[in-house]
Each structure stands twice: as C-alpha cells, then as structure tokens.
Amino acid sequence: MSSLRREPTTGEWVLMAPHRRRRSATGPHCPLCPDAPHEAAEIPGGAYDVAVFDNRYPALGGPAGPGPAQVLGTLADAPAPGRCEVIAYSGDHHTPLARLPRSRVRTVIEAWADRTRELNRLDGVAQVVCFENGGAEAGASLDHPHGQIYAYPWIPDRFARMQETARQARLRGVDCLFCAVLDTEERAGSRIVTRSAHWSAFVPFAARWPFEVHLYARRHVPDLAALTEEEREDLAGVYRSVLRRFETVADRPLPYMAVWVQAPARDGRELAHLRAQVFSDHWGSGAVKRMAAGELGAGAFVSETEPERAAEALRGAAVRI
C-alpha cells in the first residue's frame, strides 16, 4: 500500500510506493494487447477501441483517512487514498495516439471526460489528472500506447501554486489569469503553433523544455467533462496535430510527456482554466536537456531553448492528417 510523507522543510507531500518497482514492463507478451495470453492480459474480451482499468501497481490507493495519520516532531505521514487508472488508447500495439484516426482520438477524449467526472465525485479526491509518458525515454514502462489517470487526495504542489497565483491575480482585478495569458499569446502571435475555433496551442513565453506546447481551451472552462460536443470534436483534431508535430519537428519522433491541468474536484474550480502541457526533454537524436543540480536541488530552472524559434519549428513541422 502507498503512503504519503511530508518533506518538513518545504511542506511538500511525497508518495511512497516502493511496490511499483514490480510493475509490468515490456516483455514477450504485452498485457494491453487483445491477443495476450490469459495470464498476461490486463484487458480481457478481445479487440477494443479504448479501455480503462485500475492500475495493478498504483501510486495511490491506501486506506482513506483524514489528514496526517501520525506526527512525530517535524515528521508527518498520512494515508494515500485515491485512484490510479490506466487508459489504453487502442488495441493496436503499434499505433500511437498521434496516429489514430480523428474519430478514435475523440473516443479517448470522451474517456478522459467520463473518468474526470466520475472520479471527481469520489470522497477524498481533490484533483484528477490525465497524463501520458510517450515513449520509453519519457518513462513509459510498456510499449503499447497508453496513458494514466490519477485521482489525487490532495492538490499536487505545482497545481496548488498555479491556483494560488490565479487567486492572487483575481485579487488584483484579473478575472482569469489563464484567459489573460491566452489573450497575450494570441495577440503576440510569435509563439502560436496552431489555433482553431475552440483551442489555441503555443510555446509558453518562459518555456523550460527544448520543445514545449501549452494547449488552452479558448473558452473559460474548468475541465474536460465540461466541454461541449463542438469543443471535444475540435480538440480531437488539434490535440492530434500537436502530437504529430512532436513526431516530425526533429530528426526522429520525440519522446514526450503530456498532462491535462484541470480544476480541482471541489474548492477553487472557478479559478481554473482547462489546458494541456506537452513537452519533450529532447531536441533530437542524442540531444537531451539534462536536469542539473541547481534545477533539481534548488528548483531554479535554466532554459536552453528559444521559445519563438521552437514555435516556428513546430509550426513548420509536417502534419499529414
């Protein structure tokens, strides 16, 4: 079972999940393929479009409990309730999300929205996060295209800082910080990668990674579950377009990470604005942004990218849809 421990000097919670070292990895039989042997299969029943199931080695899922269970001096630990789910994008082992037909990407979006809605209803869930590690170099333990959905019992620290920054901006008279960011980027134009009726994708002004794209809903909307039919249909094309650019912008498809930033399950939902962050620590073959001691130890990130040139490269990337 997982547990939470608080780092006393920063106040950050750390998930302790040593059992995850035993989780499934790429082997002779893929557990996400519909033709996997019975003893290896995670998804029984044959061919499928999209499947969602509980992670067998979850980072969350301890017994529920209110607040820290034990406090000893500066040390505090707590249960780690919540949910960890796996979403397999397709029964096809060799087709990543970027290469699925638009209609099938729409099905994945529907699954994200459904799980966000249902998990937000659970007692003790504070934030639902849909994310993907795209490729082994980005941390995927299985080759089969898939992502994960976590229902956290607390708002993760980075998201909590975003919420607090948005709250402070509202006190200064900025109704939605993220709407203001989107308006600024669309007016500037130099970092825009692609834009549609309902979505805008851009390289952020203070981009950290060699290639990084933020995809914003152009309407102020809290989460995936709140999207209209038109917004979901539009998203299927735009999100696939963004992922395709990560395949073609360099001399090889780039490993990437993608995370959807949604509103908390309960308090502060009015401050949130739905967006995705897609980024890669690779420039291309053999060229990787390595986190150094100052970044990992002090938290002072050093960017070695030029956001405007990265946006230009992503705009020019071949997207054959």
- Compute how many other C-beta atoms are within 10 angstroms of the C-beta atom of residue 107: 16
CA of residue 224 relative to chain centroid, distance: 12
Backbone angles phi, psi at 120, to 5 degrees: -60, -25
Task: Report d(CA 157, CA 138) in Å as an integer.
Answer: 21
Residue 220 known to be catalytic: no
Length of the chain: 321
Catalytic-labelled residue, pool 19, 29, 93, 146: 146
Tokens standing for residue 62 = 């301890």
* Burial tier of 131 (Cβ tally within 10 Å: 0-12, 13-18, 19+): middle
Strands (E), the chain: 3-6, 13-16, 51-54, 70-72, 75-79, 83-88, 127-134, 146-152, 192-195, 199-202, 211-217, 256-261, 275-280, 282-284, 287-288
Q: Which of 206, 316, 321, 304 shows the shortest CA–CA distance to 250?
A: 316
Q: Report the SS3 class of residue 243.
A: helix
- Compute how many other C-beta atoms are within 10 angstroms of the C-beta atom of residue 90: 26
Tell me which residues are annotated as active site: 146
